[in-house]
Amino acid sequence: MQMERRNSSPDELEGEENKVDKETLIKNLNDDLSNELGAIIQYITYAAKATGPYRPQLASFFLAEVTDEQGHAQFLANKIVALGGEPCTTPVKVPAAGSNRAMLEAVLEAENKAVAGYTTRAKEADEFGDKGLAVQLEDMVRDESGHSEETERILRDWPL
Protein backbone atom coordinates (compact mmCIF):
# COMPACT_ATOMS: atom_id res chain seq x y z
CA MET A 1 0.00 0.00 0.00
CA GLN A 2 1.48 3.32 -1.04
CA MET A 3 0.74 6.38 1.07
CA GLU A 4 0.51 9.82 -0.41
CA ARG A 5 2.95 12.37 0.94
CA ARG A 6 1.35 15.56 2.23
CA ASN A 7 2.75 18.78 3.58
CA SER A 8 6.35 17.62 3.40
CA SER A 9 8.84 20.36 4.04
CA PRO A 10 11.73 20.83 1.60
CA ASP A 11 14.11 19.60 4.31
CA GLU A 12 12.14 16.36 4.70
CA LEU A 13 12.06 15.81 0.95
CA GLU A 14 15.76 16.59 0.61
CA GLY A 15 16.61 14.06 3.33
CA GLU A 16 14.60 11.38 1.58
CA GLU A 17 16.32 12.07 -1.74
CA ASN A 18 19.70 11.57 -0.09
CA LYS A 19 18.74 8.18 1.35
CA VAL A 20 20.53 5.18 -0.05
CA ASP A 21 18.23 2.42 -1.27
CA LYS A 22 18.82 -1.25 -0.48
CA GLU A 23 19.90 -2.19 -4.02
CA THR A 24 22.54 0.54 -4.10
CA LEU A 25 23.82 -0.45 -0.67
CA ILE A 26 24.05 -4.12 -1.71
CA LYS A 27 25.88 -3.18 -4.92
CA ASN A 28 28.36 -1.03 -3.00
CA LEU A 29 28.89 -3.70 -0.34
CA ASN A 30 29.57 -6.18 -3.15
CA ASP A 31 32.20 -3.78 -4.52
CA ASP A 32 33.77 -3.76 -1.04
CA LEU A 33 33.60 -7.56 -0.92
CA SER A 34 35.35 -7.78 -4.29
CA ASN A 35 38.10 -5.51 -2.91
CA GLU A 36 38.49 -7.67 0.21
CA LEU A 37 38.71 -10.86 -1.84
CA GLY A 38 41.37 -9.15 -3.94
CA ALA A 39 43.22 -8.05 -0.80
CA ILE A 40 43.37 -11.64 0.46
CA ILE A 41 44.87 -12.77 -2.85
CA GLN A 42 47.18 -9.75 -2.91
CA TYR A 43 48.60 -10.44 0.55
CA ILE A 44 49.07 -14.17 -0.06
CA THR A 45 50.70 -13.57 -3.44
CA TYR A 46 52.96 -10.79 -2.20
CA ALA A 47 54.06 -12.91 0.78
CA ALA A 48 55.19 -15.58 -1.66
CA LYS A 49 56.93 -13.04 -3.92
CA ALA A 50 58.84 -11.14 -1.21
CA THR A 51 62.60 -11.33 -1.76
CA GLY A 52 65.89 -10.28 -0.26
CA PRO A 53 67.16 -9.99 3.29
CA TYR A 54 63.79 -8.68 4.57
CA ARG A 55 61.81 -11.51 3.01
CA PRO A 56 60.89 -13.26 6.31
CA GLN A 57 59.62 -10.03 7.87
CA LEU A 58 57.75 -8.92 4.74
CA ALA A 59 56.16 -12.33 4.22
CA SER A 60 55.03 -12.35 7.86
CA PHE A 61 53.69 -8.80 7.53
CA PHE A 62 51.67 -9.66 4.43
CA LEU A 63 50.32 -12.94 5.83
CA ALA A 64 49.32 -11.31 9.13
CA GLU A 65 46.87 -9.08 7.22
CA VAL A 66 45.01 -11.99 5.61
CA THR A 67 43.02 -12.80 8.77
CA ASP A 68 41.58 -9.27 9.03
CA GLU A 69 40.72 -9.13 5.34
CA GLN A 70 39.08 -12.56 5.54
CA GLY A 71 37.00 -11.41 8.51
CA HIS A 72 35.91 -8.32 6.58
CA ALA A 73 34.99 -10.44 3.56
CA GLN A 74 32.96 -12.85 5.70
CA PHE A 75 31.11 -9.99 7.38
CA LEU A 76 30.32 -8.34 4.04
CA ALA A 77 29.10 -11.59 2.46
CA ASN A 78 26.82 -12.29 5.43
CA LYS A 79 25.45 -8.74 5.42
CA ILE A 80 24.78 -8.83 1.68
CA VAL A 81 22.78 -12.04 2.13
CA ALA A 82 20.94 -10.58 5.15
CA LEU A 83 19.90 -7.63 2.96
CA GLY A 84 18.58 -10.02 0.32
CA GLY A 85 21.52 -9.83 -2.07
CA GLU A 86 23.90 -12.30 -3.64
CA PRO A 87 27.55 -11.96 -2.57
CA CYS A 88 30.02 -11.53 -5.42
CA THR A 89 32.72 -14.14 -5.90
CA THR A 90 35.00 -12.18 -8.20
CA PRO A 91 37.97 -10.39 -6.62
CA VAL A 92 39.40 -7.18 -8.00
CA LYS A 93 42.53 -7.68 -10.06
CA VAL A 94 45.71 -7.77 -7.99
CA PRO A 95 48.27 -5.29 -9.31
CA ALA A 96 51.48 -6.81 -10.62
CA ALA A 97 54.44 -5.71 -8.55
CA GLY A 98 58.03 -6.45 -9.47
CA SER A 99 59.74 -5.45 -6.24
CA ASN A 100 59.19 -5.42 -2.51
CA ARG A 101 58.70 -1.65 -2.62
CA ALA A 102 56.17 -1.92 -5.46
CA MET A 103 54.24 -4.53 -3.46
CA LEU A 104 54.16 -2.29 -0.40
CA GLU A 105 53.06 0.69 -2.50
CA ALA A 106 50.27 -1.39 -4.06
CA VAL A 107 49.16 -2.52 -0.60
CA LEU A 108 49.17 1.08 0.63
CA GLU A 109 47.01 2.16 -2.30
CA ALA A 110 44.56 -0.70 -1.69
CA GLU A 111 44.32 0.06 2.04
CA ASN A 112 43.72 3.77 1.40
CA LYS A 113 41.01 2.84 -1.11
CA ALA A 114 39.42 0.58 1.52
CA VAL A 115 39.46 3.38 4.11
CA ALA A 116 37.73 5.75 1.68
CA GLY A 117 35.23 3.08 0.63
CA TYR A 118 34.28 2.06 4.15
CA THR A 119 34.00 5.68 5.25
CA THR A 120 31.51 6.30 2.44
CA ARG A 121 29.73 3.00 3.07
CA ALA A 122 29.31 3.80 6.79
CA LYS A 123 27.54 7.04 5.82
CA GLU A 124 25.38 5.13 3.34
CA ALA A 125 24.47 2.54 5.97
CA ASP A 126 23.53 5.31 8.36
CA GLU A 127 21.37 6.96 5.68
CA PHE A 128 19.78 3.59 4.96
CA GLY A 129 18.97 3.26 8.67
CA ASP A 130 21.23 0.32 9.54
CA LYS A 131 23.17 1.67 12.53
CA GLY A 132 24.75 -1.72 13.29
CA LEU A 133 26.19 -1.89 9.78
CA ALA A 134 27.41 1.70 10.04
CA VAL A 135 29.24 0.95 13.30
CA GLN A 136 30.82 -2.23 11.90
CA LEU A 137 31.98 -0.37 8.80
CA GLU A 138 33.51 2.34 11.02
CA ASP A 139 35.39 -0.43 12.85
CA MET A 140 36.61 -1.66 9.48
CA VAL A 141 37.82 1.90 8.71
CA ARG A 142 39.88 1.67 11.90
CA ASP A 143 41.33 -1.71 10.86
CA GLU A 144 42.22 -0.55 7.35
CA SER A 145 43.67 2.72 8.67
CA GLY A 146 45.95 0.69 10.93
CA HIS A 147 47.09 -1.42 7.96
CA SER A 148 47.72 1.74 5.95
CA GLU A 149 49.70 3.42 8.73
CA GLU A 150 51.85 0.33 9.28
CA THR A 151 52.61 0.10 5.56
CA GLU A 152 53.51 3.81 5.46
CA ARG A 153 55.92 3.28 8.36
CA ILE A 154 57.61 0.39 6.55
CA LEU A 155 57.95 2.44 3.37
CA ARG A 156 59.20 5.55 5.18
CA ASP A 157 62.83 4.42 5.40
CA TRP A 158 62.75 1.58 2.90
CA PRO A 159 66.34 1.18 1.66
CA LEU A 160 65.52 -0.52 -1.65
Q: Which of 51, 57, 39 is nearest to 106 (CA)?
A: 39
Rg (CA), the chain: 19
**Cα 111 from Cα 151, distance rounded (Å):** 9
pLDDT at 59: 97
Domains and CATH numbers, the chain: 21-156 (1.20.1260.10)
How many of the other CB atoms lie within 10 Å of CB of 77? 20
Confidence of residue 16 (pLDDT cuts 50, 70, 90): low
What confidence tens digit (pLDDT) does each residue in 115-140 have?
A: 999 999 999 999 999 999 999 999 99
What average pLDDT score do residues 64-80 get?
97
Q: Sign of the CA dihedral 152, 154, 159, 160?
A: negative
Q: How confident is the model at residue 55 (pLDDT cuts 50, 70, 90)?
A: very high
The C-alpha atoms of residue 17 and residue 10 are separated, in whole angstroms, by 10
Give the pTM. Answer: 0.86
Average pLDDT for 97-109 = 96
Q: Is the pLDDT of residue 6 over 90?
A: no
Q: Per-residue pLDDT averaged across 65-90, rounded? A: 98
pLDDT bin (cut points 50, 70, 90) of residue 31 is very high
Q: Determine the pLDDT at residue 113.
A: 96
Who contacts 84 (Cβ-Cβ below 8 Å, separation ≥6)?
Answer: 22, 26
